[in-house]
Structure 1
Amino acid sequence: MLNFREVLGYWFVNNTMEELVNEVHTRIEDARKTFIVTANPEIITYAQSHSYYEKIIKHSDYIIPDGIGIVIASRLKRQPLQERLAGFDLMYNLLKLSDQHHYKIYLLGTKPDIIDLSALNIKKAFPHLEIVGFHHGYFHDDDNIIEEIKQAKPDLVFVGLGFPKQEKWISHNLKHFDKGIFIGIGGCLNIWAGVNNRAPKFMRDLNLEWLYRLIKEPSRSKRMLAIPIFLKRVLSNEFFK
């Protein structure tokens, strides 16, 4: 049973990674369709300004705190979340779980010349899971992809279209499937392909992964403005009601 904490009107999973993975494992075994949002301050800030997207986020099954800004915000509210649940770490742990139990995986996202490499590297790392299909993220018609997923019956579907597109795609198409854990994973497929790298472990341990990404991708600077905006809203919400 998972616990939840509220931050700015959004209910985040307040558990360890192990507990979250165990919950997902149970839902896979029970063939329960599940929509997981990996939310950072940028996603929440965007949702607060786009009501259609906020509705999508709030109607998901689980929102996990993927971003140290979310954890800091919970501390400012004096209702601290147990830990940051990074999207890449969740994906890694679920791939490991799939390797142990021979679960079926479908990958959707990134560029046409990258998705093949993502799938190849995932299969090398986890030889006992079954990748039942993959497709790049540059498509205009959902029908063929939906039909392919329906026929393949994957246990987990990792959708790396970037926000808000990945959450919109999952929300709009979930009704077509009988089962599956659907997770928006942002740029994780690029990391698996080796196109991008995660921050060194010492930076991750210091919760500075966002800084590493900013140094590597200066074009993200405008997107990073969402973090102070988010924290300002948290403070205003807490102290100036």
Structure 2
Amino acid sequence: MSIEAFDRVHLDGTGIDRITEDEVVAVVRDALAHGRGGRIITPNVDILRRASADPRVRRHLDDADLIVADGMPLVWASRLGGSPLPERVAGSSLIWSLSRGLGRDARSVFVIGGIPAGTDRPAGARARRSDSAAEAHATDGDRPAGAHATDGDRPVGAHATDGERLSGERPSGAERAAARLAAASPGLRIAGAVSPPFGFERDEARYARFRAEVTEARPDLVFVGLGFPKQELVIERLREHLPSTWFIGCGAAVNFVAGDVHRAPRWMQRTGLEWAHRLGAEPRRLAGRYLRHDAPYALRLLARAPRGRP
């Protein structure tokens, strides 16, 4: 199944593939079978809003091979516009379905993100288990989930094996997520898993070690859960070294899989209220973005949609 087989629905200047989650998995499996790599981006309302005004954000969308709608307002706007998207395709769901699909082909994944080894919970998460941290999908690129100031003393990848970890130290979020994906996806191979410390991409020596760890593993697919736009910038830098690999920026999906952050209930996901769950978890950090910027933009997007009917 080729990518060209799907047309795109245009919302505020962004073309979004009219594709289901199962079809995304089929496209990636087929491309890998033919030795082709690629990149998936999952814009939500916040990313779409920023792309409409910021060329730097637009660049990430223009570079993607598949663009899928990770937000019910985008699906609703497409329906109002007369070119309906078939469904919401969230990065936090794709991390599971892509792993299962690649497992059927005995292929490998590399997991990047999550909280570093020995850390109890992501930065910003409340102490009580029920109060999960907000998904790092929208604009958390400047503060990756779980980054702690003291992590800078730990070399990237140094926690990859138990032999290098302090006795009794909790495995990293990426390692725990990778283990859960492997357990749920028969045949899947884990090429590697790393939870890099805050600011690793700005330290050339540290980034070089990180890049070497990923590229030498030669994974078929890389999940990069560092928050937008940091994860997209990291993907740009890695793609040139792994042209036959697929990449997806998956925000807080690594934290979800690891069990460090709890996703909204399914009924909230289906009804487009997942944002309310995240807002309730971190109101001080997210209220301005969601209520002052994203909500008005979403309303404008929905209001304009009928005028775009073909």
TM above 0.5, yes or no, is yes
Report the more deviating stretch, 67-76 or 140-149. Answer: 140-149
Partner of 1:49, secondary structure, is coil
Match of 1:135 among 180, 194, 198: 194
* Aligned residues with identical type, % of pairs: 32
Q: Is 1:196 the counterpart of 2:261 in the alignment?
A: yes
CA distance in 1, matches of 2:301, 2:192: 41
2:115 partner letter: K
CA distance in 2, matches of 1:32, 1:184: 18
CA distance in 1, matches of 2:27, 2:295: 29
Q: Note the residue ranges of structure 2 that are not aligned, 5 or more in a row.
A: 118-172
Q: Is 1:222 the counterpart of 2:281 in the alignment?
A: no
Q: Partner of 2:114 in structure 1?
A: 110
Match of 1:67 among 68, 71, 81: 71
CA contact (8 A) 1:2 1:20 kept: no
CA distance in 2, matches of 1:230, 1:50: 17
CA contact (8 A) 2:77 2:301 kept: no
CA distance in 1, matches of 2:102, 2:305: 41
1:195 partner letter: D
Q: Is 1:186 the counterpart of 2:251 in the alignment?
A: yes
How far is 1:159 from its partner? 0.5
Q: Partner of 1:84 in structure 2?
A: 88
Q: Partner of 1:156 in structure 2?
A: 221
How far is 1:234 from its partner? 5.6
Report the more deviating stretch, 150-159 or 121-130. Answer: 121-130
* Structure-2 change in CA distance of 1:159 and 1:51 (3 Å): same
Q: Deviations over 1:42-80 (max 9, x none)?
A: 111122232122122122111100011211221232322
The total of aligned residue pairs comes to 240
CA distance in 2, matches of 1:159, 1:40: 17
Q: Deviations over 1:95-130 (max 9, x none)?
A: 111222211110111221322222232233235311
CA distance in 2, matches of 1:100, 1:65: 25
Match of 2:180 among 115, 121, 126: 121
1:131 partner letter: I
Q: Partner of 2:36 in structure 1?
A: 32
CA contact (8 A) 2:9 2:18 kept: yes
* Structure-2 change in CA distance of 1:144 and 1:238 (3 Å): farther
Q: Note the residue ranges of structure 1 that are not aligned, 5 or more in a row.
A: none
2:193 partner letter: F
CA distance in 2, matches of 1:97, 1:238: 37
How far is 1:4 from its partner? 1.6
Report the more deviating stretch, 64-73 or 167-176. Answer: 167-176
Q: Partner of 1:14 in structure 2?
A: 18
Q: Partner of 1:174 in structure 2?
A: 239
How far is 1:177 from its partner? 1.3
2:14 partner letter: Y
How far is 1:233 from its partner? 4.7
CA distance in 2, matches of 1:234, 1:209: 18
How far is 1:188 from its partner? 0.3
CA distance in 1, matches of 2:52, 2:28: 27
* Structure-2 change in CA distance of 1:235 and 1:58 (3 Å): farther
CA contact (8 A) 2:29 2:102 kept: no
* Structure-2 change in CA distance of 1:131 and 1:40 (3 Å): same
- Which protein has the larger Cα radius of gyration, Structure 1 or Structure 2? 2
Moved over 6 A (4+): none
1:229 partner letter: Y
CA distance in 2, matches of 1:172, 1:46: 22
How far is 1:237 from its partner? 7.7
CA distance in 2, matches of 1:231, 1:27: 37
How far is 1:182 from its partner? 0.3
How far is 1:19 from its partner? 1.7
